[in-house]
Amino acid sequence: DGGITQSPKYLFRKEGQNVTLSCEQNLNHDAMYWYRQDPGQGLRLIYYSQIVNDFQKGDIAEGYSVSREKKESFPLTVTSAQKNPTAFYLCASSRVDGGVEAFFGQGTRLTVV
């Protein structure tokens, strides 16, 4: 079955450590996205990529980094520079022609203690 997989579902890290969240898709989509969700804040765009080896900052990119070495994969690193990293992180993918209808993974809940 085609889909988008995020792992792990829950992640705990100590303050000051970098952590990488995984996102893989087998939908053959060119575009991939990372969003952060906080209670009452909706979804805010962190980074997106429309093609391999290229990515763009979203509205809240500070303290995060990404790479896009393969079409299927778009990992997100939450660095120690991110002041409030505890959140629910959602990865999505879409085609780049026509609409940008996005398909979402099940999310990773990151807790930094």
CA 41 to chain centre: 17
81 binds other proteins (CB under 8 A): no
Work out the end-to-end distance of the chain between its first and last CA atoms, rounded to an integer number of angstroms.
Answer: 36
- Residue 80 CB, shortest distance to other proteins, in Å, is 26
Q: Among 82, 104, 100, which residue's Cα sits nearest to residue 6?
A: 104
Which residue among 60, 71, 77, 103 contacts other proteins (CB under 8 A)?
103
Site for other proteins in 7-66 (CB under 8 A): 31, 33, 35, 40-43, 45, 48, 50, 56, 58-59
- Residue written as token pair 């969240």: 21
∠ at Cα 50 (35, 80), nearest 5°? 40
Residues that bind other proteins (CB under 8 A): 6, 31, 33, 35, 40-43, 45, 48, 50, 56, 58-59, 90, 92, 96, 98-107, 109
